[in-house]
Amino acid sequence: MFRRVVVTGIGTITPVGNQLEEFWHNLTSGVSGVGPITRFNTEGYSSKIAAEVKNFNPTDFIDRKEARRMDRFTHYVMAATIMAVEHAGLDVEKINRERTGVILGSGIGGIETLEQQHRVLLERGPGRVSPFFIPMMIANMGAGQVAINYGFYGCNITTTSACASSANAIGDAFKVIQRGQADVMISGGTEAPITPLAVAGFCSMKALSTRNDDPAGACRPFDAGRDGFVIGEGAVVLVLEEMEHALSRGARILAEVTGYGTSCDAYHVTAPDPQGAGAALAMRMALQDAGIDPRAVDYINAHGTSTPLGDKLETLAIKNVFGEHAYRMAVSSTKSMTGHLLGAAGGLEAAVCILAIDRGLIPPTINLTTPDPECDLDYVPNNARRKEVNVAMSNSFGFGGHNVTLVLERFAIERDHRHAS
Cα distances (Å, whole numbers) of residue 271 to 38, 66, 266: 30, 40, 10
What per-residue confidence (pLDDT) applies to 68?
96
Q: What is the per-residue pLDDT across 265-322, written as a single tens digit (0 to 9) for each?
A: 999 998 888 899 999 999 999 999 999 999 999 999 999 999 999 999 999 999 999 9
Q: With 80 as the cut, is the pLDDT of residue 421 above it?
A: no
Count Cβ atoms below 10 Å from residue 23 Cβ, excluding itself: 27
* Active site residue ranges: 163, 303, 340
Rounded to an integer, the average pLDDT of 96-107 is 98
Q: What is the per-residue pLDDT across 17-51, written as a single tens digit (0 to 9) for each?
A: 999 999 999 999 999 999 999 999 999 999 999 99
What per-residue confidence (pLDDT) applies to 366?
98
- Domain definitions of the chain by residue range: 5-248, 259-409
Q: With 70 as the cut, is the pLDDT of residue 420 above it?
A: no
What per-residue confidence (pLDDT) applies to 417?
47
* Contact between residue 257 and residue 411 where contact means Cβ atoms under 8 Å apart: no
Which residues face 74 on adjacent strands?
none
* Contact between residue 167 and residue 11 where contact means Cβ atoms under 8 Å apart: no
Q: What is the per-residue pLDDT across 263-279, written as a single tens digit (0 to 9) for each?
A: 999 999 988 888 999 99
What per-residue confidence (pLDDT) applies to 415?
73
Count Cβ atoms below 10 Å from residue 41 Cβ, excluding itself: 9
Q: With 90 as the cut, is the pLDDT of residue 138 above it?
A: yes
Rounded to an integer, the average pLDDT of 175-196 is 98
Per the prediction, the chain carries an average pLDDT of 96
Q: Do domains 5-248 and 259-409 have the same CATH topology?
A: yes
Give CA–CA dist 5/259, Å, rounded: 10
Q: With 90 as the cut, is the pLDDT of residue 184 above it?
A: yes
Give CA–CA dist 125/54, Å, rounded: 34
Determine what percent of the chain is predicted with pLDDT higher than 90. Answer: 96
- List Cβ neighbours of 403 (8 Å cut-off, separation of 6 or more): 164, 261, 262, 263, 264, 265, 278, 279, 281, 282, 395, 396, 397
Question: What type of residue sits at position 10?
Answer: I
How far is C-alpha 31 from the chain's CA centre?
18
Q: With 90 as the cut, is the pLDDT of residue 191 above it?
A: yes
What per-residue confidence (pLDDT) applies to 282?
98
- List Cβ neighbours of 401 (8 Å cut-off, separation of 6 or more): 264, 265, 266, 267, 268, 269, 272, 273, 278
- Please tell me the total number of residues recorded for the chain in this structure: 421
What per-residue confidence (pLDDT) applies to 148?
98
How is residue 189 annotated by DSSP?
Answer: E
Give CA–CA dist 219/102, Å, rounded: 32
- List Cβ neighbours of 73 (8 Å cut-off, separation of 6 or more): 106, 108, 109, 110, 112, 142, 190, 191, 192, 235
Question: What type of residue sits at position 380?
Answer: V
Q: With 50 as the cut, is the pLDDT of residue 357 above it?
A: yes
3-state class of 144 per DSSP? Answer: helix
What's the CATH number for 259-409? Answer: 3.40.47.10
Count Cβ neighbours within 10 Å for each residue of 345-381 and write b for 16 or more, e otherwise: bbbbbbbbbbbbbbeebbbbbbbbeeebeebebebbb
What per-residue confidence (pLDDT) applies to 272?
86
pLDDT band per the 50, 70, 90 thresholds, residue 58: very high
What per-residue confidence (pLDDT) applies to 2?
80
Give CA–CA dist 131/202, Å, rounded: 29
Cα distances (Å, whole numbers) of residue 66 to 58, 63, 94, 137, 151: 10, 5, 26, 14, 16
**What is the pTM for the complete model shown?**
0.97
Count Cβ atoms below 10 Å from residue 122 Cβ, excluding itself: 8
Query: Looking at per-residue confidence, does 230 or 418 come out higher?
Result: 230
Q: With 70 as the cut, is the pLDDT of residue 418 above it?
A: no
* Contact between residue 16 and residue 23 where contact means Cβ atoms under 8 Å apart: yes
Q: With 50 as the cut, is the pLDDT of residue 111 above it?
A: yes
Q: With 80 as the cut, is the pLDDT of residue 172 above it?
A: yes
Q: What is the per-residue pLDDT across 226-249, written as a single tens digit (0 to 9) for each?
A: 999 999 999 999 999 999 999 999
Q: What is the per-residue pLDDT across 377-386, written as a single tens digit (0 to 9) for each?
A: 999 999 999 9
* Contact between residue 18 and residue 33 where contact means Cβ atoms under 8 Å apart: no
DSSP for 71-115 reads -HHHHHHHHHHHHHHHHHT--TTTS-GGGEEEEEE-SS-SHHHHH
Give CA–CA dist 229/209, Å, rounded: 5
Give CA–CA dist 55/357, Å, rounded: 29
* Contact between residue 53 and residue 234 where contact means Cβ atoms under 8 Å apart: yes
Tell me which fold the domain 5-248 belongs to: Peroxisomal Thiolase; Chain A, domain 1 (3.40.47)
Q: Could you tell me the end-to-end alpha-carbon distance of the chain, in angstroms, rounded to an integer?
A: 20
pLDDT band per the 50, 70, 90 thresholds, residue 419: very low
* Contact between residue 215 and residue 291 where contact means Cβ atoms under 8 Å apart: no
